[in-house]
Structure 1
Amino acid sequence: MLDRVWGIARSLVIYHGQPTKHRRLRRLYSQFLGPGDIGFDIGAHVGGRVRQWRKLGARVVAVEPQPDCLRVLRFLFGRDKGVTLVPVAVGERPGKASLALSTTNPTVSSMSPEWRDSVSSLFQGVRWDRSVEVEVVTLDDLIARHGEPAFCKIDVEGFEAQVLAGLSRPVRALSVEYLPSVHDASMAMLHMVDKLGAAAGGYRYNYSLVETARMVSDEWLDMAGLTALLERLRPAGRSGDVYARLP
């Protein structure tokens, strides 16, 4: 029990306890979200993004399957009519799946055994010590129920490709996590994004190093430019988020 309290408390400090970072996040997301827009937060965790998107006037669909994180989200946003809490995971097809939880580090809970195996050496001391069965829906399902998002954040610890596989048409803008340690898998996932956007004129890309809330490039890049940028940054070994937007 103490481990679970510690894990959630740690997340609350990281995602709600840094006012300077909050201002940077609002500047970052104001490129994609404004009053009345819908934002999908896939992997909402304890709601750090939810809070900042609401301050931009956006309506938020916060998707989170972890029971402990859901308790926090309900406490913080349960009375906010601009926030819809969806207690499910997102994947390629509807159904059920096992979510492996890390009690002391809930940010790395994941539905991907391959991802957990590949990154275990990066997270020294992290254990996935319990699991829960969760309902799975697709992004197409969420769009049908809640409307088309202006922006969709996907941060699901190695399960991003499966989430994207459940989306049949491009959204206006999105972000996905990139990990240098699993570069090949990350690039395969980014090519899924690129293929998805091709029918709507093609996505343009930028990159933000982990938790900096600042874009690395002064320009929005095509896939070739993004690939070159990630290859240049890859030796430093820092993860981050790739942002994609339609012209």
Structure 2
Amino acid sequence: MLKEKLKKIMGLSNVMYLRSFFPTKQEQKNRKIRKRFYSKLVTKDMLCFDAGANFGNRIQPMLASGARVVAIEPQEECVKYLKRKYGKKIVIVAKGLDKVEGKKILYTAQSHVLASFSESWIKVAQKERFNQYRWKKDHEIEMTTLDNLIGKYGKPYFIKIDVEG
């Protein structure tokens, strides 16, 4: 209840930024697990792409391992947070990822972890796992491709992909 009121007053990205300084015991445990996991996959100066970066909970362990990170994230509130939290430590691509460049409508749900460009995926999700969420057309988003990202930033050693649809 309080979180919802704060989101309306401060905006989601600001609430999430403040929360990052006061993690719950479960989040502290999750951070340790992620750090241990990513330390086995990436090392110093390896290029990593984080597609569907959201609020970046996979970015910190990549950075802790010394990796260079390119975060791909289409949601505006998430991009604001990533800029504030990581600044110039990472490259942020505020676009969606697709097989071709262009523009697509991003659909969002009440939860920042749920966004998709796929109407067909949303129709299935509404009948099953995510039936409690209501979706809305958010806005048109520029799309880029993995090939374009590789051409601009180099070939990544590791790509984390967490997208819906």
Shorter-chain TM range is 0.7 to 0.9
Instruction: Pick the aligned partner of 1:34 from 43, 64, 73.
Output: 43
Is 1:129 aligned with 2:103? Answer: no
User: Please, what is the CA RMSD of the aligned residues?
Assistant: 2.4
Q: 2:88 aligns with which of 79, 86, 98?
A: 79
In the alignment, what sits opposite 1:53?
Answer: 62
Tell me the residue number matched to 1:148: 155
Report the equivalent of 1:90: 97
**Alignment correspondent of 1:2:** 8
Task: Give the Cα separation in 1 of the matches to 2:117 and 2:10.
Answer: 19
Partner of 1:192: none
Q: TM-score under structure 2 normalisation?
A: 0.84
| Greater relative CO, 1 or 2 (CA 8 Å, sep 6+) | 2
| 1:112 pairs with 2:118 | yes
Contact map agreement 1:100 1:131 (CA 8 A) in 2: yes
1:44 aligns with 2:50: no
Question: Structure 1 residues 11, 110: closer, same or farther in 2, change over 3 A?
Answer: farther
The one-letter amino acid paired with 2:94 is P
Aligned to 2:4: none
Moved over 6 A (4+): none
Return the TM-score normalized by structure 1: 0.57
Q: Write out per-residue CA displacement over residues 151-171 of structure 1, whole angstroms, 9 at most, x where no aligned residue.
A: 00111112xxxxxxxxxxxxx
% same residue = 31
Aligned residues between the structures:
154
C-alpha contact (below 8 Å) 1:65/1:89 kept by paired residues: yes
1:203-240 deviation per Cα after TM superposition (whole angstroms, max 9, x unaligned): xxxxxxxxxxxxxxxxxxxxxxxxxxxxxxxxxxxxxx
Q: Contact 1:8/1:106 (CA < 8 Å) preserved in 2?
A: no
Distance 2:18 2:153 in 1: 27
Letter in 1 for 2:42: L
The Cα of 1:7 is off from its aligned counterpart by 8.6
